[in-house]
Amino acid sequence: MPGRVISTLFLLALHCFLIAPVVAYTALSDNFLRLIPSGGDDFDIEKGKLLAPILIPRVPGTPGQVAVQKHFVDFFTNELPKWSIEWYNSTSKTPTSGNKELPFANLVFKREPPWVKEGQSNLLTLAAHYDSLITPEGFIGATDSAVPCAILMHTARYIDKFITQMHDEMSALGEGGTVAMDMGVQIILFDGEEAFKSWSATDSCYGSRALAERWENSFHPAMSLYRNPLDQISIFVLLDLLGSPDPTIPSLFLQTHWAYKAMASIEDRMRKLDLLESKPQRPFLPEMEKEPTAFRPLYIDDDHKPFITRGVPILHMIASPFPDVWHTMKDDGAHLDMPTVRDWSKIVTAFALEWLDMMEVEPVEAKGASASGP
């Protein structure tokens, strides 16, 4: 892969000039964008392999919680065996559990290059919460956040073969050991995001608070490039409240606005190429041109909070205003806008491919299509 060799030399040159390492990637070609699948029937709300099993109440401490955990673990075990599975379990009392400690279990699915040592990879981190709100009874939380979980499963499934090819080619060339080479990806499915009584610092984000604290205190060997697992997160993309029609996702943080622009540009290019099904009044990500001075401290509390307060860069992909169905019985499968759901699955998948620099292993179908012409 000559492109990689050149980029290695380029990075070395940058180091010589004492410039901080940069991770640069090539935008996906139009033809690569065209190949990205939407997930189609796998998002069917009755029978869809990815989404349907999550559309049940899944409150911590109930059988629904265990059923969806099994759904995620079975999926990765059976379809994506190269991904590691880690559980991060904790317990906590809640304002409605009396003296009972409820179980919370975050799941982390991760793929790193085979050559990295512990703590050596930088990790594109994609996250969503899988628990559901305790009241109203029977609440499903389709947008909150069953759909985001299913989207991340779809993304993992599609990027997997490209990761394998990239690792194989880089191993064959003896590459690895630079920031640009040692890229991995992890998907965090959080438990216990929802409050049990009313949202507060202690009644919310049970799983994410426990995980951020644990990672902050898990030190890598001395002299590691990254101090702890939090430091390995190249960007933390949190999906929440997605699946309703006409969403608006604002750009919330100037620090990660460049990543927002990358996501927005993918949406824009996909719309121009007529690859998306939804026809919203305006783009899902309308703030590509936001000026630095326009950023206000608009902060929406969510699972990123324990991470952002520890310095992790965040891209918060949350619909704001919230969907009309938010925290009502209408947040169910029937009220999802399926074209929007499928479009999100394409956009997020393309973002992950681009971040991981997968033009290096652009499929031959994409190249062939561009060479053949009309």
Q: Does 103 bind ligand NAG (CB under 6 A)?
A: yes
240 labelled catalytic: yes
Site string for ligand NAG, 43-72 (x = CB under 6 A): --------------------------x---
Select the binding partner of residue 144 from ligand NAG, Zn ion, none (C-beta < 5 to 8 A, by kind). Zn ion
Q: Would you say 171 and 3 are in contact if contact means Cβ atoms under 8 Å apart?
A: no
Name which of 144 and 303 has its Cβ closer to Zn ion.
144
Q: 338-355 and 257-272 helices cross at what angle (nearest 10)?
A: 120
Name which of 69 and 265 has its Cβ closer to ligand NAG.
69
Residue in 228, 201, 234, 189 with CA at minimum distance from that of residue 88? 189
- How many whole angstroms separate alpha carbon 349 and alpha carbon 339? 15
Quick one: which segment of 117-125, 142-150, 171-179, 210-218 binds Zn ion (CB under 5 A)?
Answer: 142-150
Name which of 10 and 199 has its Cβ closer to Zn ion.
199
Name which of 199 and 258 has its Cβ closer to Zn ion.
199
Residues in the interface with ligand NAG (CB under 6 A) total: 5
Residue in 53, 198, 142 with CA at minimum distance from that of residue 325? 142
- How many whole angstroms separate alpha carbon 272 and alpha carbon 88? 42
- How many whole angstroms separate alpha carbon 101 and alpha carbon 9? 54
Q: Does 218 bind ligand NAG (CB under 6 A)?
A: no
Q: Does 312 bind ligand NAG (CB under 6 A)?
A: no
Name which of 103 and 119 has its Cβ closer to ligand NAG.
103
Select the binding partner of residue 347 from Zn ion, ligand NAG, none (C-beta < 5 to 8 A, by kind). none
Tokens linked to 370: 């561009």
CB of 187 to ligand NAG, least distance (A): 17
- How many whole angstroms separate alpha carbon 187 and alpha carbon 351? 14
Select the binding partner of residue 299 from Zn ion, ligand NAG, none (C-beta < 5 to 8 A, by kind). none
Q: Would you say 121 and 182 are in contact if contact means Cβ atoms under 8 Å apart?
A: yes
Select the binding partner of residue 84 from Zn ion, ligand NAG, none (C-beta < 5 to 8 A, by kind). none
Select the binding partner of residue 258 from ligand NAG, Zn ion, none (C-beta < 5 to 8 A, by kind). none
Name which of 89 and 202 has its Cβ closer to ligand NAG.
89
CB of 70 to ligand NAG, least distance (A): 9
Q: Would you say 262 and 352 are in contact if contact means Cβ atoms under 8 Å apart?
A: no
SS3 254: helix
Q: Does 303 bind Zn ion (CB under 5 A)?
A: no
Q: Which of 175, 193, 337, 354 is an active site residue?
A: 193
Q: Does 302 bind Zn ion (CB under 5 A)?
A: no
- How many whole angstroms separate alpha carbon 207 and alpha carbon 192? 5
Instruction: List residues bridging with 317 in a β-sheet.
Output: 239
SS3 16: helix
**Of the residues 56, 80, 105, 319, which one makes contact with ligand NAG according to CB under 6 A:** 105
CB of 104 to ligand NAG, least distance (A): 8
Helix (H) or strand (E) holding 318: strand 314-318
Q: Does 299 bind ligand NAG (CB under 6 A)?
A: no
291 labelled catalytic: no
- How many whole angstroms separate alpha carbon 270 and alpha carbon 106? 33
Name which of 105 and 159 has its Cβ closer to ligand NAG.
105
CA 277 to chain centre: 21
Q: Which of 175, 191, 240, 287 is an active site residue?
A: 240
Select the binding partner of residue 87 from ligand NAG, Zn ion, none (C-beta < 5 to 8 A, by kind). ligand NAG
Select the binding partner of residue 286 from Zn ion, ligand NAG, none (C-beta < 5 to 8 A, by kind). none
What's the half-sphere exposure (Cβ side, CA atoms, 13 Å) at 7? 20
Q: Would you say 128 and 145 are in contact if contact means Cβ atoms under 8 Å apart?
A: yes
Site string for ligand NAG, 76-95 (x = CB under 6 A): -----------x-x------
* Other beta carbons within 10 Å of 35: 17
Helix (H) or strand (E) holding 11: helix 2-16
SS3 307: helix
| Residues in contact with ligand NAG by the rule CB under 6 A | 69, 87, 89, 103, 105
Residues classed as catalytic? 193, 240
